[in-house]
A and B are shown apart, each in its own frame.
Chain A
Amino acid sequence: MNIAVAIDDVRNDALPSASEAGPAPKRIVVAYGFWIFLLSDIVMFSALFAAYAVLVRATAGGPTGAELFNQASVAIETACLLASSFTCGLMSLAIASRRRDATYVFAVVTFVLGAVFLALEIREFAGMIAIGATPQRSAFLSAFFTLVGCHGLHVTAGLIWLAVMMAQVEIKGFRATVERRLLCFALFWHALDIIWVWLFTVVYLMGVRP
């Protein structure tokens, strides 16, 4: 008993450990659970990346990446997604300081940048399909459309989620449940940007090399 007191005296100025501080607040637990989900999502993407890397040369006489990819378009898409990640962070700050107008402004900017990214990607896909580079043309194109299309679907889901969250802020205000959902959305959006970093590196920059 005396030993425990003595240890407590020593640690008096230090931060108490997690067990001494009591149960973690729900916000921490929710974000941790969502972080686990994001990591499982990243593991799923790693399987798609592995499939793409294995099949990248299996063009079956069809068009190769060097013939199909347009780096200028990819650079604009990357800039859009990076900027939307930044404005999403600013939105998180606006939520933390309860500035409703700033939250709406940054949400709209984030949404518009994400939508521009999606429009460019759909235009790229449509252009490829128009010249016969469809998913069923070769194993390389199947893997390409699965990988990039899966990321595009995630962005689409994120845009819908953001719109729903803004409706919730409008109707319910900054209550604890809404704030936790917004925290999860921010995590999701930043994680999508990490996946895009690997996408443009592996698919569009390494893929065009001979």
Chain B
Amino acid sequence: MTDTRYDRAPGDRPTLADREEGTSSGVIVYAIGLVLAVGLTATSFWVANTSLIWPPGVPLGLAVLAIAQMGVHLVFFLHITTGPDNTNNVLALAFGILIVFLVVVGSLWIMFNLNDNMMPPPELMNLHMQH
């Protein structure tokens, strides 16, 4: 059974020692995750509705809060850690994040450039309107 000590699945219970101690430490981990996630969610809703923040900065703030909450979920709910026993899962996650980043940022970049370049100049737009 010693081999189970060194490998850990995502979402796995932390260690053998924790299991023997009972589940109280596990509950604390999930409770910390819940408190952090609720705090970040509430902050997101506040940021979206407040007038105290410079409006163009709000989407950036919301993105930062979402990334932070994603990290909280990964660490406290999915138990993805940086330990040597979790290398495979972390590498797969890193690759997934790379693909997600390429798809989202690449799409937005190309499509906004396309929109700008396809937009007819104002005088041409007026000609179209005069038909």
Contact = CB atoms under 8 A, between A and B. Distances in A.
Interface stretch (A44-52, A116-124, A146-154, A156-164): A44-52
A82 interface: yes
B27 A28 contact: no
Contacts, number: 159
A5 interface: no
12 contacts: A18-B7, A21-B3, A31-B10, A36-B92, A46-B100, A82-B41, A90-B27, A183-B11, A187-B78, A190-B77, A197-B66, A201-B62
Interface of B: 2-13, 19, 22-23, 26-27, 30-31, 33-34, 37-38, 41, 44-45, 47-49, 55, 58-59, 62-63, 65-66, 69-70, 73-74, 77-78, 84-85, 88-89, 92-93, 95-96, 99-100, 103-104, 106-108, 111
Interface string A176-204: 00000001001100110110011011100
Nearest to A205: B48
A194 to B, nearest CB: 5
B13 A197 contact: no
Main secondary structure of the interface of A (DSSP, over half): helix
A35 B55 CA distance: 38
Contacts of B70: 194, 197-198
Contacts of B10: 31-32, 35, 187
B50 to A, nearest CB: 12
